[in-house]
Structure 1
């Protein structure tokens, strides 16, 4: 008599007795299962490595390594530890059953076999195996979805906080800069008028008093005439510079709309470099970090500009960190010879459908192991308190999932790292 199970699966039968193998394999085959056979524990272990079954029926009393030892080895191997094992034995005493279950077996069937019982137990454990696998897949899927949602929340919070901060700073700069910018030219006009009045006074007065003459010499009036306009002009240049910074801040922090809009990638990159200018300047331990821009002829790219700028600032900040790490233990002169530099290159793809942006540093580089994990959620090589492991994961999500682009990294330890981004030009 046979039982139709409705389940299919590969079952490995391990028994050194041909009669037992014939009986149980025939019953399982008739029930619709795929069957594999091994006549010893050693062969069973070899077969399982090559082709993992869905269930193992394992005889206890066998020459060589017995069923208990075989089960113990299966459970000790990470590749086979999840395969359910059912013991088959004529040893029906409680001690042997407990021993088998303690080793990780899921069930026990006794000889001589009762076909209906064996098939029912096999069906039950295959169903449990299938349900367990489905549950594991669902848990993995939900975990991935939660991680993605977490990254999105962190991304929005970081982008919002950074954008608000930068926009606020730009706004605060705007008012005093506007005041200075609007008043410098009138100040120059007033100075010109005062100097004209002084000239007129000198022409009309043939002789100044001794006190006035001494004061003219004390303040070096001729030098003031020459230098004051230059001084105000330099102030004008400084105000223009602050105005450019303010514009860069507003460009960087521009609010994203609910859809991609045409943006100038180079403007976004320049504003990001401006934000990080303080980290690029020379200090007591190293010369200035050179930023070499090799901009190609790019059209406007349809994107969420604020998010793309966040990617740029993350990659550039990481490049600066890598250079700082590479500088550790090197002298100022040695660093000056080798040059700390970041090369930013942009170009249009051969089919003119993608904007390619690369950011390359000659810093410390990264190992292949690190390179493969660098975009993983929560992975970081930085010390406690210095890295969250979210920056590059967020960058990847923005580029790949939000914009349908790609982001890749190539690196050589001791030579540097290059990140390459491709963005569809039409959003």
Structure 2
């Protein structure tokens, strides 16, 4: 085992293209023990004696997995994890926390910070190897799923475009009967919805991998909301859902990727319509709130419906990919729309959440803050 300095130690493995693991611990004995065990099992192991050195190492060459001690001087394991999860390029790296603490509080905090697993010291070698192998396998499955999604999107685009173009062309024919017009309109609208879903899949994959660059411009939020509403009037009319808007007289501008953020508003409105009862009401409200003490102002966008709402225990998981929440008869759910919304809002430095709408339903809220410029 080659040892040089206190930052990173590249290990030689007999396995071709071994998976890379970074061990972070301020105790050299722990580093040596874990390194030997993992190298003997065929992994490419690097080591860091502090959180600061670990972050430098990840920036230079991201590993496939990190074994991270919690209690370290300067930067704790929690601090390191928080920094990595905030960056699109590193947030998907699985982190297994190492700690001498066996308390429930510490374990819950580790998972809330984004940890994939938690191992208590003194650790058992077979347990460490099993947990490492499991997380790496899950990571491979996630990558496989993303690659499959990209291939499906590519293969579906051509036939879907053909359906959309042909139905659009037929809709322009004046001699069609009213019944045929409605059928063609349904085909065209459905093809457009499928195309939006395919776009969401691609954008979600790029955002998740940190590969999408936001095209920010100064955007009039009032106009953006109006555009999103206009694109969903057909869906609302089909369920006799009333779209109520509470927009300020003063136009607000914000630095956004207009196309992506419009899709966020459209997704929230489409969900609200989909889960609303026949003849229900969907409300969208936009307002600006100033905090003079903090010298900041916040833009708040809320979409409320009168559906079944989101159970308390699903208010966080509902934003995860492929999480569909409660199953409802007659309502198709894939579980990508809200995940897409969260990724886009996060990329803009905002926050999205869901709460109860009184007396029934759910309210999805987006908040974005900015310093007041005097």
- Shorter chain as denominator, the TM-score bin is 0.3 to 0.5
Larger strand share, 1 or 2: 2
Q: Which has the larger radius of gyration?
A: 1
> Normalised by the size of structure 2, how large is the TM-score?
0.45
Larger helix share, 1 or 2: 1
> Normalised by the size of structure 1, how large is the TM-score?
0.40
